[in-house]
């Protein structure tokens, strides 16, 4: 019995897949990376953009054709809006919410001859030991769900209210990973900064969590994702520069640089407050690499309002952004607003943001020529090795028999483009 994963969306979905994988392995399934040999196809969906949902329906047609020729079971989990679920029910054999992962074995019994008992699976799915995809890089979820209800976002409806994972359970998972030699750990949650708000101990907050993680000895880096500007505390900003294992990289979603649009998005900050936060963080960490999320063409966004976003891109000097051309998600507040920016205009604004980012990243990369960077080697292609600096920039070096994936090395940067650094 072989299973294949098709994962869409964010790091949280990849992390969920590692827990689903652990359950399937315990039932006697084996993972394959060849879709054509799978008996079970698992789709981890993302409802955040309509585009991802359309792609899933495209694949369903293919799987239905395969089902005419041989047995194939299709399973759907991840972020799926109720409205999308209704349509998906006909398209998939099995749909389950990740929170109900402990019920998966029972449901698979209708399709596969399973012998294992499902009794040992923890009812809180985040407590399931994952089957990590990599031997040196791991996602560690610290919370799931979100209480923020940004007007365009499906997550609070698909994942529900925010639930934080117990403090000690997170620490134990990270200690185990570091003891096994893992070098890069990413703490994931829809809003990591509000970690612990639902736990009944004010000491179990995000700043204390990362301070505690930093005391674990070993050679490793810890990133965290995603942040909400309104919830980044002064304690966190104070703590970050002194932590050994937390690199100088921050993903700080902006979404829009215009105050009216930010209000309509229900983001709870203004352009000035966002820029003041960036300034405060950069004062503490001058070498900080900042990335962001931007939505272009939100309902009613005028050209002038979009220019405010471009101004913030330039002032904050983002080096990368996940840019979304707005699409309404059913059931969200913004879906009731008129989606009145044309597709062509959204595409144009997307290109303009990209152009501004490319200019910034090239300038910033060129400043690094001649410097020595600590790089974690993470990929091998032909005669080259690739790795990431502390601020997550890609570095290319020549392959060498003494170097392998997972090594920390020092690289002297000799050249730079907008896409990568190269050195010796
Ligand atoms: S913070 Fe806003 S955008 Fe992020 S998951 Fe929560 S509702 Fe969605």
Please say which residue of 60, 81, 108 terminates a domain. Answer: 108
Q: How far apart are CA 263 and CA 249, in angstroms?
A: 27
Q: Tell whether 260 is covered by a domain.
A: yes
Q: Tell whether 113 is covered by a domain.
A: no
Task: Please give the order of strands across the beta sheet that includes 249-251.
Answer: 249-251, 289-296, 320-325
Q: Is the CB of 153 under 6 A from ligand 1?
A: yes
Q: Tell whether 40 is covered by a domain.
A: yes
282 alpha carbon – ligand 1 mean position (Å)? 24
Task: Give the mutation target among 10, 46, 144, 155 for probing the ligand 1 site: most ligand atoms within 8 A of CB.
Answer: 155
Looking at residues 137-160, what average pLDDT do you find?
94
With a pLDDT cut of 90, the percent of the chain lying above it is 85
24 alpha carbon – ligand 1 mean position (Å)? 30
Residues 158 and 217 in one domain: yes
Cα of 168 vs its chain's centroid, Å: 23
330 alpha carbon – ligand 1 mean position (Å)? 15
Q: Which residues contact 199 (CB under 8 A, 6 or more apart)?
A: 164, 166, 167
Give residue 21's domain range: 2-108
Residues 131 and 241 in one domain: yes
pLDDT at 298: 98
10 alpha carbon – ligand 1 mean position (Å)? 12
Q: Is the CB of 262 under 6 A from ligand 1?
A: no
Burial class from Cβ neighbours inside 10 Å (0-12, 13-18, 19+) for residue 266 reads: middle
Phi/psi for 223 (5° steps) reads -105, 165
Query: E strand or H helix at 3, and its extent?
Result: strand 2-7
Question: How does residue 87 score in pLDDT terms, banded at 50, 70 and 90?
Answer: confident
Closest residue to atom 1 of ligand 1, CA basis: 148
Residues 189 and 301 in one domain: yes
Residues 300 and 406 in one domain: no
Q: Report the number of distinct structural domains present in the chain.
A: 3
Residues 31 and 176 in one domain: no
Please say which residue of 366, 383, 405 terminates a domain. Answer: 366
Q: Is the CB of 251 under 6 A from ligand 1?
A: no
**Which tokens belong to 130?**
């994952």
Closest residue to atom 2 of ligand 1, CA basis: 150
Residues 148 and 293 in one domain: yes
Q: Which residues contact 264 (CB under 8 A, 6 or more apart)?
A: 151, 298, 299, 300, 334, 337
With a pLDDT cut of 70, the percent of the chain lying above it is 99
Question: How does residue 116 score in pLDDT terms, banded at 50, 70 and 90?
Answer: low
Q: Tell whether 297 is covered by a domain.
A: yes
Looking at residues 130-144, what average pLDDT do you find?
94
pLDDT digits (tens, 9 = 90+) for 15-41: 999 999 999 999 999 999 999 999 999
Task: Write the DSSP string, 75-115.
Answer: EEEES--HHHHHHHHHH-SEE--GGGGGGHHHHHTTTS---
146 alpha carbon – ligand 1 mean position (Å)? 6
Looking at residues 256-275, what average pLDDT do you find?
98
Residues 103 and 205 in one domain: no
Which atom of ligand 1 sits closest to the CA of residue 48? Answer: 8
Please say which residue of 81, 108, 135 terminates a domain. Answer: 108
Closest residue to atom 5 of ligand 1, CA basis: 190
Q: Is the CB of 46 under 6 A from ligand 1?
A: no
Whether the pLDDT of residue 135 is over 70: the answer is: yes
Which atom of ligand 1 sits closest to the CA of residue 226? Answer: 4
Q: Tell whether 116 is covered by a domain.
A: no
pLDDT digits (tens, 9 = 90+) for 337-355: 999 999 999 999 999 999 9
Q: Tell whether 273 is covered by a domain.
A: yes
**Which tokens belong to 76?**
């759907």
Q: Tell whether 11 is covered by a domain.
A: yes
Residues 179 and 319 in one domain: yes
298 alpha carbon – ligand 1 mean position (Å)? 15
pLDDT at 176: 96
pLDDT at 49: 76
Contact between residue 143 and residue 98 where contact means Cβ atoms under 8 Å apart: no
Q: Is the CB of 148 under 6 A from ligand 1?
A: yes
Residues 265 and 159 in one domain: yes
Residues 323 and 398 in one domain: no
Q: How far apart are CA 146 and CA 139, in angstroms?
A: 18
Q: Is the CB of 210 under 6 A from ligand 1?
A: no
CATH code (residue 403): 2.40.50
Residues 153 and 264 in one domain: yes
Mean predicted lDDT score pLDDT of the chain: 94
CATH code (residue 46): 3.40.50.12160
pTM, two decimals, is 0.91
Q: Which segment of 100-109, 232-241, 270-279 scores lowest on mean pLDDT?
A: 100-109
Residues 28 and 141 in one domain: no
Whether the pLDDT of residue 118 is over 70: the answer is: no
Q: Is the CB of 150 under 6 A from ligand 1?
A: yes
Q: Tell whether 118 is covered by a domain.
A: no
151 alpha carbon – ligand 1 mean position (Å)? 9
């Amino acid at each position: 019995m072989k299973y294949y994963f098709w994962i869409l969306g964010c790091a949280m979905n990849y992390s969920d897949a590692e827990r689903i994988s652990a359950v399937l392995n315990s039932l006697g399934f084996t993972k394959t990376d060849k879709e054509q040999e799978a008996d079970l196809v698992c789709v981890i969906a993302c409802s955040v953009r309509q585009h991802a949902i359309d792609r899933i329906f495209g694949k369903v047609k293919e799987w239905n054709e395969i089902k005419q020729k041989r047995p194939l079971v299709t399973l759907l989990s991840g972020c799926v809006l109720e409205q999308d679920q209704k349509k998906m029910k006909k398209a998939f054999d099995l749909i389950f919410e990740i929170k109900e992962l402990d019920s998966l074995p029972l449901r698979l019994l209708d399709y596969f001859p399973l012998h294992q008992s499902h009794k040992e699976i923890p009812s809180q799915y985040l407590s399931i030991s994952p089957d990590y995809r990599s031997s040196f890089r791991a996602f560690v979820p610290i919370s799931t769900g979100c209480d923020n209800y940004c007007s365009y976002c499906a997550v609070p409806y698909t994942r529900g209210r925010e639930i934080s994972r117990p403090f000690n359970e997170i620490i134990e998972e990270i200690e185990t990973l570091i003891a096994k030699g893992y070098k890069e750990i990413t703490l994931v949650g829809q809003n990591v900064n509000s970690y612990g708000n639902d736990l009944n101990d004010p000491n179990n907050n995000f700043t204390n969590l990362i301070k505690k993680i930093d005391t674990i000895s070993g050679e490793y880096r810890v990133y965290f994702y995603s942040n909400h500007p309104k919830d980044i505390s002064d304690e966190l900003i104070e703590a970050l520069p002194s932590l050994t294992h937390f690199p100088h990289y921050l993903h700080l979603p902006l979404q829009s640089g215009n105050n009216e649009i930010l209000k309509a998005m229900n983001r709870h900050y203004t352009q000035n407050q966002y820029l003041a936060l960036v300034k405060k963080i950069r004062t503490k960490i001058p070498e900080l690499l900042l990335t962001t999320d931007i939505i272009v063409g939100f309902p009613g966004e005028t050209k002038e309002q979009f220019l405010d976003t471009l101004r913030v891109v330039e002032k904050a000097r983002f080096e990368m952004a996940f840019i979304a051309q707005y699409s309404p998600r059913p059931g969200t507040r913004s879906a009731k607003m008129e989606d009145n920016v044309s597709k062509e205009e959204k595409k144009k604004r997307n290109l303009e943001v990209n152009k501004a980012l490319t200019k910034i990243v090239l300038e910033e990369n060129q400043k690094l020529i001649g410097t020595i960077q600590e790089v974690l080697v993470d990929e091998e292609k032909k005669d080259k090795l690739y790795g990431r600096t502390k601020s997550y920039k890609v570095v290319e070096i020549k392959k060498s028999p003494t170097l392998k994936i997972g090594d920390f090395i020092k690289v002297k940067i000799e050249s730079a483009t907008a896409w990568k650094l190269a050195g010796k």
